[in-house]
Amino acid sequence: MGAFCVTAVLAGCGGSSTDQGTDAADAAGATESAEALRVAAAAGTRYTLTVSGQAGGLIGSQPAGIVCGEGNTTCTASFAAGTQVMIGHRASSGYTFKGWSGGSCSGTEFCYVTMSQNRSVAGSFVSNSTPTPTPTPTPTPTPTPTPTPTPTPTPTVTYPLAITVTGSGSLTSSPAGVSCSASCTSVFYSGTPVTLNPAPAAGYSFSGWSGACSGTGTCTVQMNAAAAVGASFTATSTGGGSGGSGGSGTAPGTGTGKAYFVATTGSDSNAGTLAAPFKTINKAVGLASAGDTIDVRAGTYTESVVIRRQGSATKWISLRGYNGERPVIKSTSSGPTVYFYNSACDEDAVGDGSGNTDCYPMYWVVQGLEIQGSAAGGSDGNAIKIDTPKVKLVGNRLCCSVADIVKLVRTSNDVEVLDNEIWQDASKVKPGSNAQGVDIVGADRVRVAGNYIHDVPDIGVYAKGNARNPIFENNRLVNIGNANNGHALMLGQETDDYRLVDGKYETYDGIVRNNVVVGSTWACLATSSSSNARFYNNSCYDTGKLMHGSIFLSNESEVGQAGTNVYFGNNIVYGSSAKPVVKIGSNAMTDYKTLVFDHNVYYTSTGNPTFSSDDFSGVNFATWLTKYKALSGRDDSGSKVADPKFSTTTGSTPLTLSSGSPAVDAGANQSLVPTDSRGVQRAQGATTDIGAYEY
């Protein structure tokens, strides 16, 4: 009993279905526009699939809809535009399936059709013939041989197994069929027991099953019906919001090698032991190998640290404060204070035409330090700059820079910024005019989680420049921006066109969820020129004070690329009364039918939030509902205007909900938001709560 993977349904599923059936989309849909299908699906368009030739067997579909033959008469069904439908068969006793025709299907295995138009498919069954026995020509009568029974055809009823992976890890299955690190659907024959095997990525652990399995033990699904399983992987440091407290996580293999020690009282001619430490951090990082640990004693180290040596996927190198001590690294030179660099990742060496690249993974963890930028840092005067993949910043205090505090370029893939405190302090270093909290330009799969980001007179966290799969979650942002700039959280923004090396969108498939923002001069949640930008369960208070609005969509692209597939759901937006709670800029979307607002709570201090676009300005909620529906063909009726009744707007957990909040049990359940900002399982009530916290 084999299995195959429906690769066209959901991205991230491994394997191929080449030997399992025919795909009508290969012939009939190859020239159709994927964008047109997405638009048609968003508009609610449906197409009809008709099957025929069912005498002698049963024909069915997945997704469900067609059940035709053997007394079942549902031979026509409609499906949403763009849906890939798998059509299977089961021969009745005494019949054999002969093959498919129509709809560009052929052969005797499974038939796939993509619903880009009305389609018809025929399947034919033939009666099995029983051979007539031949008498043996001998004088003595010989018993007539018993005919060999016709083998019963192998059942071909199948069921889908939908997989959702949260965090960094992957699943495989026994029997083979699942090989998945995001979301995918595999199909197995009826009755097959499927055992799923989790494999955490470096720096993660498997934290549990959901759906058809639970707990953390072995997951085996008996495929007697369609099933869904979720697998969660949690970072060893969770990004749950310790905000610079030092963190508690390590990466695989850290501490398995040699330990080096650094102290202000040491000497670089020493052995680097606890009793005879080095004096400079650069001495230790120049010696470190895979699995080594560098423990830095308390004190101030005035040096620019450049890290070039490489760990491995199973033996990360750790640079950390010794035994809970908090050493300070600061620089008086130009450039970044701590710099992860390798010539293979230099943007000039990589070139503009090669796209994003995993050039030289470093496998380093930086933990429990305070790192300050230099007043002489200049345009590269970051507290920390990362040019290489596979670096974790965990539980540090990162402060005070002329340029961005944390800077990631397009070769710094798979970086995680977890549980740090990130802020500016002009009394130490005066920030320049381009000094964001976390600036991501083109890197893929960057996770910014659990950080306390405050007093940043610019954008708090953003990604742009073809950045793919960024995740901003569980962060607390306070007092963000000034009059000239100040979005708290943003997917997209203007990037020099020569940096858009592998696509026109500024970001792809970004997720912003479970964040809390208290005070921003510009938007709480912003997106520009991005594809598939999703904003779930964020809580905003006193945002959009000076410019735009608390939610802001724009087109800032140098190549004029508008956004597509943008979703705002389950957010609390308690904006400043000075600006709209929602502002849609000119030419913000390629097609407004792909812009979704759903189950948000809107409010301001005056109780009368307004909404604006380039076509209307300052309208109330009732008018917004009409205008938005005319613009997108959608309803925002799941949203409401109401005081969310925050229990507090200050402290370490601001914007939690109080009793009687209209946000409680008022959201739409989202598979991509299984927990709240504190790690509490959603939903605690009938449905998920709106905002970053469950009540």
pLDDT at 648: 97
Q: Does 470 reside within a domain?
A: yes
Is-contact 450 516, C-beta < 8 A?
Answer: no
- Shared domain for 98 and 213, answered yes or no, is no
Residue 198 has pLDDT above 50, yes or no: yes
Between CA 150 and CA 129 the distance in angstroms is 9
- Shared domain for 495 and 412, answered yes or no, is yes
The CATH number of residue 411's host domain is 2.160.20.10
Q: Which domain holds residue 20?
A: 3-127
CA angle 550, 551, 556 (to 5 degrees): 115
- Shared domain for 323 and 421, answered yes or no, is yes
List all residues 6 or more positions away from 184 whose beta carbon is below 8 Å from its beta carbon: 5, 6, 7, 9, 10, 11, 12, 13, 14, 162, 163, 178
Nearest to 35 by CA among 502, 531, 507: 531
| Per-residue CA distances from 221 to 12, 13, 173, 232 (Å) | 21, 18, 10, 17
- Shared domain for 329 and 373, answered yes or no, is yes
Residue 99 has pLDDT above 80, yes or no: yes
Q: Does 246 reside within a domain?
A: no
Please report which confidence band the pLDDT of residue 79 belongs to, taking 50, 70 and 90 as the band edges.
Answer: confident
- Shared domain for 115 and 30, answered yes or no, is yes
Residue 156 has pLDDT above 80, yes or no: no
202-216, 257-271, 468-482 — which is least confidently predicted?
A: 202-216
Each residue's pLDDT tens digit, 486-536: 999 999 998 888 778 788 999 999 999 999 999 999 999 999 999 999 999
Phi/psi for 449 (5° steps) reads -145, 140
Each residue's pLDDT tens digit, 383-405: 999 999 999 999 999 999 999 99
Between CA 488 and CA 521 the distance in angstroms is 9
CA 609 to chain centre: 31
- Shared domain for 213 and 338, answered yes or no, is no
Q: Which helix (H) or strand (E) holds 628?
A: helix 621-632
Please report which confidence band the pLDDT of residue 570 belongs to, taking 50, 70 and 90 as the band edges.
Answer: very high
Residue 686 has pLDDT above 90, yes or no: yes
| Per-residue CA distances from 262 to 293, 298, 364 (Å) | 11, 9, 17
Percent of the chain with pLDDT over 70: 84
Between CA 282 and CA 285 the distance in angstroms is 5
Q: Does 412 reside within a domain?
A: yes
Between CA 46 and CA 32 the distance in angstroms is 16
Q: Which helix (H) or strand (E) holds 21?
A: strand 21-23
List all residues 6 or more positions away from 259 whose beta carbon is below 8 Å from its beta carbon: 274, 292, 293, 294, 295
pLDDT at 18: 33
Q: Does 663 reside within a domain?
A: no
Query: What is the C-alpha end-to-end distance of the chain, expressed in Å?
Result: 47
109-123, 289-303, 322-336 — which is least confidently predicted?
A: 109-123
Please report which confidence band the pLDDT of residue 357 belongs to, taking 50, 70 and 90 as the band edges.
Answer: low
- Shared domain for 273 and 211, answered yes or no, is no
Q: Does 218 reside within a domain?
A: yes
- Shared domain for 183 and 111, answered yes or no, is no
Percent of the chain with pLDDT over 90: 59
Q: Which helix (H) or strand (E) holds 375?
A: none
Residue 669 has pLDDT above 70, yes or no: yes
- Shared domain for 318 and 283, answered yes or no, is yes
Residue 80 has pLDDT above 80, yes or no: no
Residue 15 has pLDDT above 50, yes or no: no
Please report which confidence band the pLDDT of residue 43 belongs to, taking 50, 70 and 90 as the band edges.
Answer: low
Please report which confidence band the pLDDT of residue 236 belongs to, taking 50, 70 and 90 as the band edges.
Answer: low
- Shared domain for 168 and 114, answered yes or no, is no
pLDDT at 22: 39
Q: Does 662 reside within a domain?
A: no
20-34, 74-88, 183-197, 245-259 — which is least confidently predicted?
A: 20-34
Each residue's pLDDT tens digit, 413-439: 999 999 999 999 999 999 999 999 999
**Number of domains observed in the structure of the chain:** 3
pLDDT at 238: 55
Once rounded to an integer, what is the mean pLDDT over residues 455-476? 97
Once rounded to an integer, what is the mean pLDDT over residues 252-279? 93
Q: Does 381 reside within a domain?
A: yes
pLDDT at 350: 59
Nearest to 580 by CA among 663, 524, 650: 524
pLDDT at 349: 58
Q: Which helix (H) or strand (E) holds 331?
A: none
- Shared domain for 562 and 422, answered yes or no, is yes
Each residue's pLDDT tens digit, 545-567: 999 999 999 999 888 999 999 99
Which residue shows structure tokens 């508009």? Answer: 43
Once rounded to an integer, what is the mean pLDDT over residues 604-633? 96
| Per-residue CA distances from 230 to 141, 171, 206, 214 (Å) | 67, 10, 11, 9
Give the dihedral of Cα atoms 199, 202, 203, 205; nearest 10 deg. 10
Phi/psi for 216 (5° steps) reads -125, 5
Is-contact 522 551, C-beta < 8 A?
Answer: no
Residue 135 has pLDDT above 60, yes or no: no
List all residues 6 or more positions away from 141 whose beta carbon is below 8 Å from its beta carbon: none
Residue 27 has pLDDT above 70, yes or no: no
User: Of residues 500 and 356, which shows the higher confidence score?
Assistant: 500
- Shared domain for 199 and 329, answered yes or no, is no
pLDDT at 11: 30
Which residue shows structure tokens 């399947």? Answer: 123
Q: Does 492 reside within a domain?
A: yes
